[in-house]
């Protein structure tokens, strides 16, 4: 990889916007199921800011979606990197025209268009789009990513545009967590994890015996911004020997879900704070984590003081340190305590079965052993299965099968519901099978033979048609529309269930006569609803 980089042209990158920038989010911040893959550049609380290509290259891909990145542009650069600009309001006219052509050719608004190098070349600083708030965005901003083009590994954009922000503030530690290893360690006389704050260190007497891991809740800060950010580097030293180090950069895209193992997912679900562990769970392959032979878990096997020192730093090298002392004191290590009905699922387990429920776990699905507490209850189309009382996210999805408990007229309408939500699936010899990412949710078989409902919403503009399209059980899979048999593109309004079409922006020529508008919606189990109305255009 290094040689490739030396051979490729060196490029300098510039800011994607023409004003002073502060960030609403930085690269690598932990989020449920993924690392934040880029930086969130504030757009002065409004949409419509011109977005410039950060370096020369060509537009290689454009997406249009109601979720995720929304409207996004990918620019491929000659140095082996690709930059991604997401949540855009609209594209440059050249890109917009090509996207519209694709949408009409595919009879589809949601688009994923790939381009050749000669289609839309861009120079450094060229305006490629206007900023927006599309897709899964909580407010106007630009989400900017940098990837290595071949591997699609995610890189900190600050490494490419260091002058983007001013930052002389070091990260701050809010709290620590001690994690006694089940059946192998105790901390302050307890086998449960224990939280403590830097301000409490003087008054606390910390004692441990056996194997104990540590974690830290910390945030980074930058001047001129009230926001807080993820911490680029953490180092844990015990008695001046490094036992763990994290450096959040160059994250392989497919390891994103391992964030749930590095971070304390359970704690985040309850208290909305990410405690990042300073030890590596046995199945966690994240290359940004480095530890000693004990995976970063500290062994307290001598009756003496252990000196713990944390060092945290950001991209710009602003450093903060935190120290505390843990006294090694010999004590009884209790066996792992299980409640009646609890089952330990080993992190290497390949399957789990109970009557009417099967689960196949591919290798690498679990980062660590988990405790299941399987409970089943009556349901309409099958029994409902709840494997744990809390969320248990997987790195790779498990295949689950639930035995169908009721005769149905069309097996193609069956699906698996996870906490009541459609999650796909298909019927196979008396069972319904699906892939799920969270085995802690309530899983049951659902059935949908009810088509979507379509309703006209009035609009004062004579050429504009707005329709409300709803589907109760599984959601809308596709829509199609035509005027006198000629395809017209309807676009969803924001993230709502309404679709809009301005006939002036379609290839249909006005005639001032009465025409037939046909609109068809299909849900995720193939149930269709056709709507027809007369329009004067
Ligand atoms: Zn973002």
Q: Which residues of the chain have pLDDT under 50?
A: 1-2
Distance 40 CA to ligand 1 centre (A): 5
Task: State how far the Cα of 133 lies from the Cα of 220, in Å rounded to an integer.
Answer: 25
pLDDT score for 1: 45
Distance 263 CA to ligand 1 centre (A): 19
Q: Which residues contact 98 (CB under 8 A, 6 or more apart)?
A: 62, 113, 115, 119, 120
Give the residue carrying structure tokens 């609403």. 24
Distance 479 CA to ligand 1 centre (A): 29
Query: CA quadruple 410, 413, 418, 420: dihedral positive or negative?
Result: negative
Please write the tens of the pLDDT for every residue from 291-303: 999 999 999 999 9
Distance 493 CA to ligand 1 centre (A): 22
Please write the tens of the pLDDT for every residue from 99-109: 999 999 999 99
Distance 413 CA to ligand 1 centre (A): 36
**Residues with Cβ–ion distance below 5 A, ligand 1:** 40, 143
For residue 320, count CB atoms less than 10 angstroms from its CB and return exposed for 0-12, middle for 13-18, buried for 19 or more: middle
Distance 69 CA to ligand 1 centre (A): 9
Distance 215 CA to ligand 1 centre (A): 25
Closest CA to 375 of 405, 393, 355, 403: 355
- Residue count (the chain): 537
Distance 495 CA to ligand 1 centre (A): 17
Distance 38 CA to ligand 1 centre (A): 6
Distance 68 CA to ligand 1 centre (A): 10
Distance 3 CA to ligand 1 centre (A): 31
Distance 26 CA to ligand 1 centre (A): 8
Distance 41 CA to ligand 1 centre (A): 8
DSSP string, 420-480: TEE---EEETTEEEEEEEETTSEEEEEE--PPPEEEEE--SSTTEEEEEEE-SSS-EEEEE
Distance 131 CA to ligand 1 centre (A): 13
Distance 22 CA to ligand 1 centre (A): 13
Distance 84 CA to ligand 1 centre (A): 11
Distance 24 CA to ligand 1 centre (A): 8
pLDDT score for 224: 83
Distance 507 CA to ligand 1 centre (A): 36
Distance 323 CA to ligand 1 centre (A): 33
Distance 32 CA to ligand 1 centre (A): 13
3-state secondary structure of 255: helix
Distance 157 CA to ligand 1 centre (A): 12
Task: State how far the Cα of 324 lies from the Cα of 327, in Å rounded to an integer.
Answer: 10
Distance 143 CA to ligand 1 centre (A): 4
DSSP string, 353-378: EETTEEEEPPTTS-SS-EEE--EEE-
Distance 173 CA to ligand 1 centre (A): 23
Distance 361 CA to ligand 1 centre (A): 31
For the whole model, what pTM was predicted? 0.94
Closest CA to 196 of 216, 212, 211: 216
Q: Are 140 and 46 in contact (CB under 8 A)?
A: yes
Distance 135 CA to ligand 1 centre (A): 11
Task: State how far the Cα of 414 lies from the Cα of 521, in Å rounded to an integer.
Answer: 19
Distance 76 CA to ligand 1 centre (A): 19
Tokens of 119: 């289609």
pLDDT score for 6: 52
Q: Within 10 Å of residue 375's Cβ, how many Cβ atoms?
A: 14
Distance 508 CA to ligand 1 centre (A): 38
Task: State how far the Cα of 291 lies from the Cα of 288, in Å rounded to an integer.
Answer: 10
Distance 317 CA to ligand 1 centre (A): 23
pLDDT score for 226: 93
Distance 39 CA to ligand 1 centre (A): 6
Task: Quote the longest CA-to-CA distance of the chain.
Answer: 93
Phi, psi of 158 (to 5 degrees): -65, -25
Distance 164 CA to ligand 1 centre (A): 16
Distance 150 CA to ligand 1 centre (A): 22
Q: Within 10 Å of residue 291's Cβ, how many Cβ atoms?
A: 18
Task: State how far the Cα of 427 lies from the Cα of 292, in Å rounded to an integer.
Answer: 47
pLDDT score for 462: 84
In 3-state terms the chain splits into helix, strand, coil percentages (rounded to 5) of 10, 45, 45
Closest CA to 91 of 102, 81, 101, 99: 99
pLDDT score for 7: 55
């Amino acid at each position: 990889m290094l040689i490739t980089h030396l051979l490729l042209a060196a490029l300098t990158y510039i800011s994607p916007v023409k004003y002073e920038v502060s960030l609403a989010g930085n690269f690598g911040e932990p989020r449920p199921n993924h690392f934040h893959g880029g930086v969130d550049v504030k757009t002065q609380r409004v949409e419509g800011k011109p977005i410039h290509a950060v370096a020369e290259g060509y537009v290689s891909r454009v997406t249009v979606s109601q979720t995720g990145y929304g409207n996004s542009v990918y620019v491929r650069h000659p140095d082996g990197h690709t930059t991604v600009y997401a949540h855009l309001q609209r594209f440059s006219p050249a890109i917009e025209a090509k996207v519209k052509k694709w949408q009409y050719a595919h009879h589809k608004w949601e688009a994923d268009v790939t381009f050749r190098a000669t289609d839309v070349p861009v120079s450094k600083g060229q305006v490629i789009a206007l900023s927006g708030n599309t897709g899964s965005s909580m407010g106007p901003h630009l989400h900017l990513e940098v990837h290595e083009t071949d591997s699609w590994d995610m890189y900190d954009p600050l490494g490419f545009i260091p002058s983007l922000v001013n930052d002389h503030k070091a990260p701050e530690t809010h709290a620590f967590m001690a994690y006694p290893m089940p059946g192998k360690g105790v901390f302050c006389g307890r086998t449960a994890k224990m939280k403590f704050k830097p301000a409490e260190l003087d008054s606390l007497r910390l004692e441990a015996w056996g194997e104990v891991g540590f974690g830290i809740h910390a945030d980074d800060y930058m001047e001129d911004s009230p926001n807080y950010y993820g911490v680029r580097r953490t180092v844990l030293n015990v008695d001046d020997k490094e036992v763990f180090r994290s450096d959040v950069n160059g994250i392989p895209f497919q390891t994103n879900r391992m964030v749930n193992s590095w971070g304390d997912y359970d704690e985040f679900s309850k208290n909305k704070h990410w405690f990042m562990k300073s030890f590596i769970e046995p199945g966690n392959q994240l290359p940004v984590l480095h530890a000693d032979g004990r995976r970063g878990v500290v062994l307290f096997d001598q009756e003496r003081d252990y000196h713990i020192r944390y060092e945290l730093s950001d991209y710009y090298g602003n450093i903060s340190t935190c120290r505390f002392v843990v006294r090694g004191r010999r004590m009884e290590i209790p066996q792992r305590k299980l409640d009646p009905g609890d089952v330990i699922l080993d992190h290497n387990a390949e399957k789990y079965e109970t009557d009417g429920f099967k689960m196949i776990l591919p290798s690498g699905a679990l980062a660590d052993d988990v405790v299941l507490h399987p409970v089943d209850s009556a349901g309409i189309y099958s029994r409902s299965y709840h494997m744990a009382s809390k969320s248990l996210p997987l790195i790779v999805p498990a295949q689950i099968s639930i035995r169908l408990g009721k005769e149905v007229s069309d097996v193609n309408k069956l699906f698996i519901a996870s906490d009541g939500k459609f999650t796909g699936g298909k019927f196979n010899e008396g069972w319904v099978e699906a892939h799920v990412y969270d085995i802690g949710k309530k899983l049951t078989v659902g059935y949908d033979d009810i088509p979507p409902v379509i309703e006209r919403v009035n609009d004062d503009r004579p050429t504009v048609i707005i329709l409300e399209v709803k589907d109760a059980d599984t959601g809308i899979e596709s829509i199609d529309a035509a005027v006198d048999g000629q395809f017209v593109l309807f676009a969803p309004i924001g993230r709502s269930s309404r679709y809009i079409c301005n006939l002036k922006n379609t290839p249909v020529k006005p005639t001032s006569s009465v025409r037939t508008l046909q609109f068809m919606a299909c849900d995720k189990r193939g149930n269709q609803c056709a709507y027809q109305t007369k329009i004067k255009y």
